[in-house]
Structures are given as structure tokens and as C-alpha cells.
């Protein structure tokens, strides 16, 4: 058995962003640093998230969040935190902003470089004195609000996690913050969440509670994703998408697989994580088919598909229906990078828990098929 960890306090429901002032007061935070991105601000979602907080417009905001959060951005955010005399961090946005908020909290009270705290470091240093962190997701994708790590592109070019399972003081999951998401972002982030549920379920690690959680998340996403893409104001679909996203991330403790072993090194080259996961998932499922046993049909049943349906082919068709690109070449991945990505995948922690043991040659074949 693995260590069972279900740590984060989550306030989940429509309108619960109103709890933010109370949670900050309970945590002793008087001057938080808001971490978000310019798109969330332009869309009015940042204002919506803080609308219950008096005087929020006078507080410092770090909005230089890259598509894939970086060590350099975390260092810049930590400098702003110290310069402004902050005593807590509030992350508002998609997975990039939430992961960056965690990393900023680490560097606010721990000496750089951030790499010293990475789970790929030979001897990672402990994180033991970070400020309070409250996270409000505005997408239903990464589940970073309950994830055990902050996934960062480090200065050395590696995309990996800073393991910080105890860092987040509380999360507020208000599905209303996702109502304004464009269909394309709803689709790519939703497939990210689905990939998390499927990969954690397929992981050979023994953790029945996490399996049950990932299966519930899978079922919710299969039932709701196309509805949310078609109608962003479908409150029930948005609720289930956000819950499925959270459940996929709770199950991360089982480990993931080849989808993430590949999407991390490609993402370090500047590509959107959820879109990569969507493109890679059908190919990885097909590759793992003979190692999944009864799980293959369980995935089919959770999706509500007829007996005999091929989940890999059906997920590729789902990508097409919600407008996602079918191939890596369609988003600008360079064919010349595939060999290097295949090598780098072997060093990613997700490689260790893929159901089928894979070689560098196997990874290259997967990438070629997805290209």
C-alpha cells in the first residue's frame, strides 16, 4: 500500500468565493499577495473571485504568470511578496497560477534556488515555514488546489514538481468562476482533468480509495465535458467538471503514467499541458491496453459507452467533437525534438508508474504516432 494522503480543506460549491475574507482572517492574513494572470484579470474573473473582500483593490497583485510557471517567475513573485510586506498568498486562476502561487510561497520564506526543493533533486530540502496559502481555481483542469506538488519549469529546463503536500491552507472551489471560460479552454482543461483521472486509475500502485475517487471523477467528466463546452453556464456541468478535476488531483498519490512522462518535457518547451494530455491520452491508452486487464472495460463503463467500444479511439473522437487538435504537429511541436523528449521521459517521475514498462524506443514510437 502507498501512504494515503487526503489533506487539503476544500470549500466547494456555487458562490463560495464569499468565504475568502473569513478564511484569510482565520489564517491571520491581513495583507495577501494575489497571484493570477493577465487573462483572468481581463476576463473579469479575478474581480469576481475577490468581490466579497473589502479593500482588495489596494492589495498587491502578481500577474506575470507564464503558460507553464517558471522558477524565474516564482522568484519574481517572492520578491514582490517581501517588498510589499505580505503575510499570505492567494492564488486565483488556472493550474499555472495556482502552482506558481505555491512556488512563490515557498521562496517567500525559503532560500533559493527553487530547484533545491524539487522532487527530482537528489536530496530535496524540506519546506517547513511557508506562509498561509489559499487557492481559488478558475478552470476545471489541473486540480492544483489539492495536488501535492507545484509543477514548475526550472531554470535548468526540467519541468517537475516541488513536493509540498501540506502547503495549501484552504481551497475554494466555486464553479461559478468557470462560467465565463471559452469553449476551447473548457475543452483543453477538461481533458487535462480526464487524463488525470484515467492515468491515476491505470497506475499499478495499490490504493483502492484513490481508485474510487478517480472513477467518480472520470464518470463526472465523461458526462459533463461536452455539455460544459457547448454551454458554459450549465451550472450542473460546471459543478461536475470542477469536482472531477479535484478528484483527479486527489488521486495523484497513485502516480501517473506515460501521458505525463511525455507532456512534462514537451510542456517545458512552451506548450499547453492540457492540450498535450488530450493529444497523447488515446495513444498511451492503446499502448497500455494489454497491461490494463479489467480496467479497460471499467473505463468504458464509466464513460457510458457500449460494450466493445475502444476507449482509446472513443477518446480521440471526443477530442475531435470538442474542437481539440488531433496531433502534436498541429500545435507546433517540432519533429526534431521528439527523440530528446523520448529520452527525457525516462527521467520523469510519471514514467515509474505507467502500467506497461516503457523504453526510450517505446516513447519515441508513441510520440511518432501522436505527431
Tell which wins on pLDDT, 129 or 175.
Answer: 175
pLDDT at 7: 76
pLDDT tens digits for 163-186? 888 899 999 999 999 999 999 999
6 pLDDT above the threshold of 80 = no
Strand order in the sheet with 10-12: 10-12, 170-173, 133-137, 88-93, 32-35, 61-62
Q: What is the dihedral of CA 146, 143, 353, 297, to 10 degrees?
A: 120
In the chain, what are the domains? Answer: 10-178 (3.40.50.1970), 183-370 (1.20.1090.10)
- Only one residue has cell 480526464, namely 194
Q: Kindly tell me if the per-residue pLDDT of 12 is higher than 60.
A: yes
- Average pLDDT for residues 178-203, to the nearest whole number? 97
- Tell me: the pLDDT tens digits for 220-234? 999 999 999 999 999
How many other CB atoms are found less than 10 A from the CB of residue 113?
Answer: 15
The yes-or-no verdict on residue 3 having pLDDT over 80 is no
Q: At what angle do helices 360-370 and 338-345 cross, to 10 degrees?
A: 130
**In the predicted model, is pLDDT for residue 240 greater than 70?**
yes
More confident residue, 369 or 165: 369
Sign of CA dihedral 245, 246, 251, 253: positive
- Banded pLDDT at 5 (limits 50, 70, 90): low
State percent of the chain over pLDDT 70.
99
pLDDT above 80: residue 319? yes
Whether residue 245 is predicted with pLDDT greater than 60 in this model: the reply is: yes
What's the pLDDT score for residue 317?
A: 98
Residue 2 has pLDDT above 70, yes or no: no
* Contact of 113 with 71, CB cutoff 8 Å: yes
User: Can you give the chain as a three-state secondary structure string?
Assistant: CCCCCCCCCEEECCCHHHHHHHHHHHCCCCCEEEECCHHHHHCCHHHHHCCCCCCHHHCCEECCCCCCCEHHHHHHHHHHHHHCCCCEEEEEECHHHHHHHHHHHHHHHCCCCHHHHECCCCCCCCCCCCCCEEEEECCCCCCCCCCCEEEEECCCCCEEEEECCCCCCEEEECHHHHCCCCHHHHHHHHHHHHHHHHHHHHCCCCCHHHHHHHHHHHHHHHHHHHHHHHCCCCHHHHHHHHHHHHHHHHHHHHCCCHHHHHHHHHHCCCCCHHHHHHHHHHHHHHHHHHHHCCHHHHHHHHHCCCCCCCHHHHHHHHHHHCCCCCCHHHHCCCHHHHHHHHHHHCCCHHHHHCCCCCCHHHHHHHHHHHC
pLDDT number for residue 1: 56
- Average pLDDT score over residue span 22-38: 97
Q: Is the pLDDT of residue 4 over 90?
A: no
State residue 364's pLDDT score: 98
Q: What is the pLDDT of residue 174?
A: 97
Q: What is the pLDDT of residue 292?
A: 98
Q: How confident is the model at residue 148 (pLDDT cuts 50, 70, 90)?
A: confident
- What are the pLDDT digits (tens) for 280-291? 999 999 999 999
- The string of pLDDT tens digits covering residues 303-314 is 999 999 999 999
List phi, psi (to 5°) of 51.
Answer: -65, -15
Q: Beta 88-93 vs 61-62: how paired, if at all?
A: unpaired
% of residues, the chain, pLDDT over 90: 95
Please state, rounded to an integer, the average pLDDT across all residues of the chain: 96
pLDDT over threshold 90, residue 51: yes
- Residue 165 has what pLDDT? 83
Distance CA 90, CA 168 (A): 10
Amino acid at each position: 500500500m502507498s501512504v494515503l494522503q487526503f489533506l487539503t480543506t476544500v470549500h466547494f460549491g456555487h458562490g463560495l468565493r464569499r468565504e475568502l475574507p473569513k478564511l484569510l482572517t482565520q489564517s491571520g492574513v491581513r495583507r495577501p499577495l494575489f497571484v493570477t494572470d493577465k487573462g483572468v484579470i481581463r476576463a473579469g474573473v479575478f474581480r469576481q473571485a475577490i468581490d466579497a473582500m473589502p479593500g482588495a483593490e489596494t492589495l498587491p497583485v502578481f500577474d506575470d504568470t507564464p503558460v507553464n510557471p517558471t522558477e524565474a517567475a516564482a522568484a519574481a513573485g517572492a520578491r514582490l511578496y517581501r517588498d510589499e510586506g505580505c503575510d499570505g498568498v492567494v492564488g486565483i486562476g488556472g493550474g499555472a497560477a495556482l502552482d506558481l502561487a505555491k512556488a512563490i510561497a515557498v521562496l517567500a520564506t525559503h532560500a533559493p534556488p527553487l530547484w533545491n526543493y524539487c522532487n527530482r533533486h537528489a536530496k530535496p530540502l524540506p519546506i517547513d515555514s511557508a506562509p498561509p496559502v489559499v487557492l481559488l481555481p478558475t478552470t476545471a483542469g489541473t486540480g492544483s488546489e489539492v495536488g501535492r506538488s507545484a509543477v514548475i519549469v526550472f531554470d535548468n529546463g526540467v519541468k517537475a514538481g516541488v513536493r509540498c503536500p501540506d502547503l495549501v491552507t484552504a481551497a475554494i472551489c466555486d464553479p461559478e468562476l468557470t462560467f465565463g471560460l471559452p469553449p476551447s479552454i473548457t475543452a483543453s482543461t477538461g481533458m487535462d482533468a480526464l487524463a488525470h483521472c484515467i492515468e491515476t486509475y491505470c497506475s499499478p500502485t495499490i490504493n483502492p480509495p484513490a481508485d474510487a475517487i478517480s472513477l467518480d471523477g472520470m464518470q463526472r467528466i465523461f458526462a459533463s465535458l461536452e455539455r460544459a463546452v457547448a454551454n458554459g453556464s450549465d451550472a450542473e456541468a460546471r459543478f461536475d467538471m470542477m469536482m472531477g478535476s479535484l478528484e483527479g488531483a486527489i488521486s495523484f498519490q497513485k502516480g501517473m503514467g506515460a501521458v505525463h512522462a511525455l507532456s512534462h518535457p514537451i510542456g517545458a518547451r512552451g506548450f499547453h499541458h492540457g492540450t498535450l494530455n488530450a493529444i497523447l491520452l488515446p495513444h498511451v491508452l492503446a499502448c497500455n491496453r494489454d497491461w490494463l486487464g479489467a480496467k479497460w472495460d471499467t473505463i468504458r463503463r464509466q464513460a457510458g459507452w457500449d460494450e466493445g467500444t475502444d476507449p482509446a479511439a472513443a477518446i480521440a473522437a471526443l477530442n475531435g467533437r470538442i474542437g481539440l487538435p488531433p496531433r502534436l504537429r498541429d500545435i507546433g511541436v517540432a519533429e526534431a525534438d521528439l527523440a530528446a523528449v523520448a529520452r527525457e521521459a525516462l527521467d520523469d517521475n510519471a514514467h515509474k508508474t505507467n502500467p506497461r514498462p516503457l523504453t526510450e524506443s517505446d516513447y519515441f514510437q508513441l510520440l511518432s504516432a501522436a505527431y
